[in-house]
Structure 1
Amino acid sequence: MKKRHLAAPVTAAVLALALSACSGGSTASDDAGTKDSSTGTISHIHGVEVGPTDKKLYVATHEGIYTPDAKGRPQLVGDRKDDFMGFTVAASGSFLASGHPAPGRDAPNNLGLIESTDGGKTWKDRSLVGEVDFHSLEHAHGTIYGYDSTNGLLRVSADGSTWDKRSKLSALDIAVSPQEAQTILATTESGVIRSTDGGRSFNKAGRSVMAFLSWVTPDALYGIDPAGELSRSADGGRTWQKVGTVPGGGPQALTAVTATHLVAASQDGVYESTNGGKTFAKRLDVTSGGDH
């Protein structure tokens, strides 16, 4: 499958394409473009995280969750090769995810919220099974925030079982302030929008168009635009300063582990920075990811 690189200048149409591309489940063309095995190649990345206790890199993909083995090759975690869409790791170390079951597995098309308490080896259903596919998940302030792509709305849960329905919106990613539980940002094709009431309402979009966000400290909000340009905001997204560029074309995921430690996935690899995004080193190769 030919890679399609996202070109500058960034436009709303680019992010709109990304939003529509991530709106459904597995397709025949997606499956044909992925060649995952217990150790092999990975593609179609939906999330990257670093475990808070084991410090391992975890990569959520179209066919399972992977971590580098001793030789730096992608190693399948557990035996579930589901299409993991939304993915986050709570401070306790629990994995929270959503998406679609692997082809042939007897499960509803939308996984709802699922959880692993053993580092992704096994999973259990938590809620909304068959109803919701979360494309973005955040765990902050003891609360789970999820963008429900199936119904186009923000949901919030204190226990992972019962959910409050918040605003209707069309978004690619969400980020929650590490300081204020009621402050939530979302990336849309028109720009980054902000809520200060827990997602019940959002203001008009700002001028900055971002694909993915990660907010690790009050003065370290990172955003990556559809061309791979990485910026940092010290004032919660009101102003941005470019800090670098993620190699490899259009972005697929971003997480800030600390104010200076970042992990980002692009069309050709998973990259890590330990200097706030000024430079990046490749951690894993990615193949056939550009068309997702």
Structure 2
Amino acid sequence: MPNSRRTRTSPIVGIVGTALIAVFLVACSAQVSDDKAGQSVAPSTPGVEFTSELDHLHGLHINADGTVLAGTHRGLFAIGDSGDTVRVGDSDDDLMGLAGTTGSDTLFSSGHPGPSSSAANPLGLRTSSDGGRTWTDSSLAGKVDFHSLATDGKTLVGFDGVSGVKVSMDQGMSWESGAAVGAASLALTDSGAWAVTSSGVQYSDDNARTFTDVPGAPSLVLIAGASDALWGVDQDGFAWRSREGKDWEKRANVGAVEALTAASYDRAYAATSQSLYALN
């Protein structure tokens, strides 16, 4: 469905629909008050099922009008209120990495060209200023496929699955080598960079050049950040939140999700190829 991006002006919470919000409020009221450090059993969180299954998610983003966008093996898709999924733009590229700051139409992506593309393989870093409808090459074309990617709007951190973390301080125009760690997932908050590594959650206050372990952090497989908030999903499918890596709270059970994005300390979204979960 080329060039069929849905335009909407609803707030972010409209994405999951009124009925689902009511379910979340019930789940939150049933939650045990002492939910820190895994001391309580978090409630299962129902999801909005997609009308058409997506092809393997690699990232989520909340754009300027509150729509949740999903990066997949076959391009970028917008997720509607009732779970409808609509292709954004013409690209069918395999978006292995997707990043943006919540509430912005500026996006960064990486991966491999799709069947209709003549772009370099791998794609390097690509940038969109219109919510993913069109993309331009920024850097590293033919050289890098970022499997993990995060941004705070200016700084970008990425991991290509091979050579450690790379860091850009100018929106991806130029890059420097960061720490030689394998980062399955990356996040940026006001205080620094965060990585899910084989040693657990790690933190950097020097633009991802060095990382140290985060004491007390859960065993996460996905992590996302916004402002001072961190959200994560652990190996057992539980969603957690924290302010700057402190006082982790277990919030919900979402199962084995493929992608995660944080809107704020009070809201995040996780997804599989079949469903979207709103977290609060």
Q: Same fold (TM over 0.5)?
A: yes
Runs of 4 or more above 4 Å deviation: none
**2:238 counterpart residue number:** 229
Question: Does residue 76 of structure 1 match 2:87?
Answer: yes
For 2:219, the aligned partner's letter is V
Q: Deviations over 1:98-136 (max 9, x none)?
A: 111113632322111101122211111000001111122
**1:212 counterpart residue number:** 222
Question: Does residue 242 of structure 1 match 2:263?
Answer: no
CA distance in 2, matches of 1:173, 1:164: 19
Shift of 1:150: 4.1
SS in 2 for 1:250: coil
Question: Does residue 266 of structure 1 match 2:272?
Answer: yes
Shift of 1:198: 1.4
**2:206 counterpart residue number:** 197
Q: Which moved more, 1:259-268 or 1:168-177?
A: 259-268
Question: Does residue 88 of structure 1 match 2:99?
Answer: yes
CA distance in 2, matches of 1:177, 1:104: 36
For 1:184, the aligned partner's letter is A
For 1:152, the aligned partner's letter is G
Shift of 1:147: 2.2
CA distance in 1, matches of 2:115, 2:164: 25
1:187 to 196, 199, 202: 196
CA distance in 1, matches of 2:75, 2:235: 24
Q: Deviations over 1:205-237 (max 9, x none)?
A: 65632111122242x321111221011223x22
Tell me if structure 1 keeps the 8 A contact 2:164–2:177: no
CA distance in 1, matches of 2:60, 2:146: 15
Q: Deviations over 1:134-188 (max 9, x none)?
A: 122222162222223342323223242111111111111111122x2xx211001
For 1:272, the aligned partner's letter is A
| Structure 2 CA distance for partners of 1:217 and 1:124, relative to 1, 3 Å | closer
For 1:201, the aligned partner's letter is T
TM-score normalised according to structure 1 size: 0.71
Aligned residues: 228
Tell me if structure 1 keeps the 8 A contact 2:164–2:178: no
TM-score normalised according to structure 2 size: 0.74
**2:29 counterpart residue number:** none
Tell me if structure 2 keeps the 8 A contact 1:148–1:155: no
Structure 1 gap ranges (5+) = 1-38, 277-292
SS in 2 for 1:106: coil
Tell me if structure 1 keeps the 8 A contact 2:111–2:123: yes
RMSD of aligned alpha carbons? 2.2
Shift of 1:70: 7.1
SS in 2 for 1:84: strand
Q: Which moved more, 1:144-153 or 1:255-264?
A: 144-153
Tell me if structure 1 keeps the 8 A contact 2:157–2:165: no
* Percent of residue pairs identical: 35
CA distance in 2, matches of 1:229, 1:71: 24
CA distance in 1, matches of 2:154, 2:167: 14
| Structure 2 CA distance for partners of 1:231 and 1:72, relative to 1, 3 Å | closer
| Structure 2 CA distance for partners of 1:190 and 1:239, relative to 1, 3 Å | farther
| Structure 2 CA distance for partners of 1:141 and 1:63, relative to 1, 3 Å | closer
